[in-house]
Amino acid sequence: DAGVTQSPTHLIKTRGQQVTLRCSPKSGHDTVSWYQQALGQGPQFIFQYYEEEERQRGNFPDRFSGHQFPNYSSELNVNALLLGDSALYLCASSSGTAYYGYTFGSGTRLTVV
């Protein structure tokens, strides 16, 4: 039973560019949440997708956007990259509207130069 799969594992982008990160949820899960984890910090909530709609959003600018597909997989898009966007981006999947039972992927390490 595959867990949460994220791609790519590492990425280097130049300031001002755009990036797309991908996530496939754990089998049986239909909700995807994205978190940003800066070095030495705890993960911070970006947004959550359920039934192909953004259900909740954290305190992140509109440069961060997402999408969920009918197969429950999800993408995180970041436009106009800043040096401060360098972080580990984690995807977590869960079931329905449950506020527990999250499974995290290994993340995508984004470096902005």
Partner 1 sequence: GENVEQHPSTLSVQEGDSAVIKCTYSDSASNYFPWYKQELGKGPQLIIDIRSNVGEKKDQRIAVTLNKTAKHFSLHITETQPEDSAVYFCAASKRSQGNLIFGKGTKLSVKP
Residues in contact with partner 1 by the rule CB under 8 A: 4, 31, 33, 40-45, 48, 50, 55-56, 58, 90, 92, 97, 99-100, 102-107
Least spacing, CB of residue 48 vs partner 1, in Å? 5
Least spacing, CB of residue 16 vs partner 1, in Å? 28
Nearest CB to partner 1, comparing residues 7 and 18? 7
Nearest CB to partner 1, comparing residues 47 and 81? 47
Least spacing, CB of residue 45 vs partner 1, in Å? 4
Question: What's the Cα-to-Cα distance from 82 to each of 72, 74, 86, 93, rounded to whole Å?
Answer: 29, 22, 8, 27
46, 32 Cβ separation under 8 angstroms:
no
Q: Which residues touch 29 (CB under 8 Å, ≥6 apart)?
A: 72, 93, 94, 95, 103
